[in-house]
Structure 1
Amino acid sequence: MASLLVFLGYDPSTNTRLPLMSAISRHTIRSSVFAKYQPIINLSTNRIVGCEALARWRADDGCETSIEPVIDELESQEDLALELTTCMFTCLKADLGTLLIEHPTFSVSVNLPPIVMGKNKILPVLEKLGLMPHLPQLTGEITERQALNEQGREAIRQARQLGARVAIDDFGTGQSGLQQLIGLEVDTIKIDQSFIRQLGTNIAAERLVRGIAALATILKVDIVAEGVETAEQASFLRAIGIEKGQGWLWSKALNPTELREWLS
């Protein structure tokens, strides 16, 4: 029933209504989508080192909800995917433009739909917004599932050619083999939160996370654990050499003012 309600436009987890896909247009995205920012923490110093920009939808009644239930449909349509990506970068520039100048080592992760990135449609957006000087601080996220097809691989190549970093999101949920991963030129692996939640209660999950940490060392890439909710989880991750975490243990997604307060 829950999945049906979400499909019809209702998100029971937040008691808010999402627009039907048939009603979503470039205009509704432009007028209703905004960004919040979840901190990424250095596990050794417990200090914020970056954040992930998360798309949120503001309904007519003012309620806010994640666009996650409709993200796959949005990203499958080139015009809507481009509008969503443009909106997120526009928010990033307005919200964090000065912050990126003041904190040159601070990084921001943004989801990059392969249908847009693979066709090199992001460059004009970045140039128009004046974000080109900040490309080394930007990380384009692409899911493990998306990264394994040719469109995803082309998106990764385009992002790296621009000078942005690339992260594989939701790592561990796809069907990738070691040989496929070796062929991907990425900078960061983000372990899916479904595995992090089971740390301390599921031996298989702990072994898998250890294996991913070892794989990241072999491939010489950074690693971020998503969905960290307890100090025990953070301690386990720190002990096996994972340097960065993201989750409610530290903070939910913040508005720009709240994020600035963290940094100050």
Structure 2
Amino acid sequence: MSRRLDLLLTALAPAIWGSSYIVTTQLLPEHSAMTVAFLRALPAGLLLLLIVRQLPPLNWVGKIFILGALNFSIFWAMLFISAYRLPGGVAATLGAVQPLIVIFLAGFVLQTTIRSGQILAAILGIAGVALLLLTPAAQLDTVGILAGLGGAASMAAGVVLTRKWQPPVPPLTFTAWQMTAGGLLLLPVAFWISPEIPTFTPTNLLGLAYLGLIGGALTYVLWFRGIARIDPASVSILGVFSPLSAVVLGWALMGETLSTTQLFGAIIVVFSVWLNQSKAQLIQTPQKAA
């Protein structure tokens, strides 16, 4: 399968993640974010386990729980804290730091070459997201900033270690293991924050089904598949499509307006992805020729 198709399928994951904000605010407005995160991960993970009918070998259990924590539990917990304490634009901009962290972390853990073109693309991605979402009135909070950076670091470590630790199973099975582990780790946190048993309307259940099956299971199968096939820096930069997708969906579905600054930011976001992929393609071409 061509690299271009691999990139397209992988990019679908963050593009779909961008719809999570609208789904959560419109279909699940009154429920704890941590409760939603837990219900997004564990039921979908268990459903995937029923489909694949395969548990991880004992020597993989520790790694699976580490990956589940990094890609789901810690990441979603930090995301919740930063979203609660910071304006959405600030939280998303902090999350956009993830590709930059991946570049250096992959260089240390995977011994990949750190290239200036990819660093430039990552910085442009951060700038593009900032133009898309930041406003002059945005207020900063130290705990929120640390949580936002912690979430970016957690997801970055998850990307790199998911590439390093590749079990001999399909992406669907790998996703089932990680989502289940992540959901189990979220369980005590969710009930500590919101100990009462939540009640759900049919609309709420529809939102949870979308977040768990489409925004969770499907997207992470595509995401982990991409990590296995594409270099980590080229995968992580695709994450900037999430805030871009959120802005576009807000404009298309919610009637939100787009400013000239936001349009300029969107162009920079797309350019940053193109720059990263073009540099990666130039690196790979001589290897194929050899």
TM-score range, shorter chain: under 0.3
TM-score, length-scaled by structure 2 = 0.26
Higher RCO (CA 8 Å, separation ≥ 6 residues)? 2
**Greater strand fraction, Structure 1 or Structure 2:** 1
Structure with the bigger percentage of helix: 2
TM-score with structure 1 setting the length: 0.27
